[in-house]
Amino acid sequence: MTIVRLRESGPWTEHELTSEQAAVLSTTRLVRVAPGPRPGLWLLRDHGLVGAARIGPVRDPVEIRVEPKTPIDRLLFLLGYAQNPRGWRQEEVDAGARPDLLPALAHAFARAAERALRQGVLLGYRETEEALPVVRGRIRMIDQVRRRHGLPIPVEVRYDDYTADIPENRLLLAAAHRLLVLPGVPAGTRRLLRHLPLRLEGVERLVPGRPPPGWTPSRLNARYHTALGLAALVLRGASYELEDAATVRVDGLMLEMWRVFEDFVCVALAEALRPYGGTVTLQDKRHHLDRARRVPLRPDLVLARADGRPSTVVDAKYKTGDTPQEDLYQILAYCTAMGLDRGYLLYASKGEAHTHVITGSGDLRIVETALDLSSPPDELRSQIARLARRIAVEEANSPGRSPVPSG
C-alpha cells in the first residue's frame, strides 16, 4: 500500500504512483493530480478536503492523509459549533496530542462514548410490530385478518418495547464500526472502539445507504450529546464506491473545509445576532437576481427587520490572500437584488476590516472582514460577537432608522 501525506493548502509534492493509482486518485477528486517530471512520478496537492481515505485499486491501494492547517482543537471547536452548538461543547472533547483529523476524531469519539456509557446503556421506548402467541399491547386487526385468515394465533400486535435498540445507541454503534475499518486509526484507539459493540449488545446496525436515524436532545440523553455530535461527524464522510465497485473503493473520512467554515460562521453569527432583534435566515433561497425569478440567489446569512424586509447580508468565504473580484460581484448581486445598502464578506484569515464604497450606487458599501482561525475558542467567540455588534449598530443607523449608540 502506498501512503501519501499532504497538507491543506500546501504546495504540489512529488509521489511515485502507478498509472492506475494516479487515474483512480484523479477520478475520486479527493486530491488534485498532475503528471510529474518523469514517468511514474506524479504531482499531488490537496483539493480542499482534510482527513484520511484509502482508495483502490484493491490489489494496490493508496492511503491519502491530508493534515489541516487549522490546529485540531480549533477544528473540533468549529465542527462542534456548526453541527449542534447546544449538543456538545469543545471543552468536553479530548482529542489528545494528534495532528491529523481522523486519529484525533476517532480518539475523541472513543473517549466520549466511553463516558456516555459509564452510567449504563441508555434505554428507551420503541414501537414494535410483530406476531406473538399472546396479546401484548394493541392487536392490529387489519393485519390479523389479512395475514392469519381467522386463525386466533399468532396475534399481530403493536406495543412499546423498553429497549437499548434506540436511535442514540444505533448511531454510536454505527460510528464505532465505521472507525474500526478506516485507515489511520491508532491501535490504542481501536482497542477502545472494540469495547463499544460489546456494550451495545442487542442494538441493530444501520442499513448501509439509508440515512441515519434522527434523535431529539433531552434531559434523559444529555450524557450522550458529546458522543452523538462526534458520531455525526464520523458518519458524515461516507464510504462510497465508483462505477466499477469490484475494482475501486474509497473508505475514509474527508471533510470539506469551506463547508466547515461556512457552517460555523452561519450558526455562530446567527446566535450572536439574536439579542439585537430581527430574524436571521441561513442559506436563504427566497431571493432571485431577476424579476422573472430565473436566476436564484442563496446567500449564507440574511438579517431581516421585524416587518420581514432584508436589512443585511453576510457571505462566508474560506479563503486567504487578496479578495477575488467574483466575491465582490457576488455580494453586490445580493445587495442589489434585496435593495440593501450594506453587505459583509467574511474570510478565514488575519487582517483588518475595510470597506468598499460602490460607484454609482448611492450609499451601498461592501465590508470585508476576517476571522483568525488560529485564535483560541474564546477569542473566536469574541470575534463573532464583535462582528454581530457592528452589523446590528450599522443596520440600526442606516437611512430610515433611529440611530443607536455604537459603544
pLDDT, residue 237, reads 56
Is 334 in contact with 300 (CB distance < 8 Å)? no
Is 175 in contact with 230 (CB distance < 8 Å)? yes
Record the pTM: 0.75
Cα dihedral 89→93→98→100 (10° resolution)? -50
Helix axes 377-396, 72-83, angle to 10 degrees: 50
pLDDT, residue 159, reads 66
pLDDT tens, position by position, for the chain (407 residues)? 889 999 999 999 999 999 988 988 888 888 999 999 999 999 999 998 888 888 876 778 888 999 988 888 888 888 876 655 444 444 445 555 556 788 888 888 998 899 899 989 999 877 777 787 777 777 777 777 778 776 778 878 776 777 899 999 999 999 999 999 887 888 999 999 999 999 999 899 988 777 888 888 888 898 998 889 888 888 875 444 444 444 456 677 888 888 889 989 998 999 999 999 889 999 888 999 999 999 999 999 999 988 889 999 999 999 876 778 899 999 999 999 999 999 999 998 866 778 999 988 778 999 999 998 888 888 999 999 999 999 999 887 776 444 334 44
Buried b (16+ CB within 10 A) or exposed e, 210-237: eeeeebeeeeebebbbbbbbbbbbbbeb
Q: How many CA atoms lie within 13 A of 391 on its CB side?
A: 35
| SS3 (DSSP) at 381 | helix
The 3-state DSSP composition of the chain as helix, strand, coil percent (nearest 5) reads 35, 25, 40
* Partner residues linked to 127 by β-bridges: 160
Closest by alpha carbon to 335, among 314, 359, 308? 314
**How many whole angstroms separate alpha carbon 342 and alpha carbon 392?**
12
**How many whole angstroms separate alpha carbon 54 and alpha carbon 58?**
10
Which amino acid, one-letter code, is at 225? H
pLDDT, residue 12, reads 96
C-alpha cell at 377: 475558542
Residues 6+ apart with CB under 8 A from 322: none
Q: How many CA atoms lie within 13 A of 155 on its CB side?
A: 12
Is 93 in contact with 112 (CB distance < 8 Å)? yes
pLDDT, residue 294, reads 94
Closest by alpha carbon to 185, among 58, 30, 60, 54? 54
Which domains, ranges and CATH numbers included, belong to the chain? 2-69+245-255 (no CATH), 72-122+166-236 (no CATH), 124-163 (no CATH), 277-396 (3.40.1350)
**How many whole angstroms separate alpha carbon 95 and alpha carbon 72?**
8
Is 85 in contact with 381 (CB distance < 8 Å)? no
Based on its alpha-carbon atoms, the radius of gyration of the chain, rounded to whole angstroms, reads 26
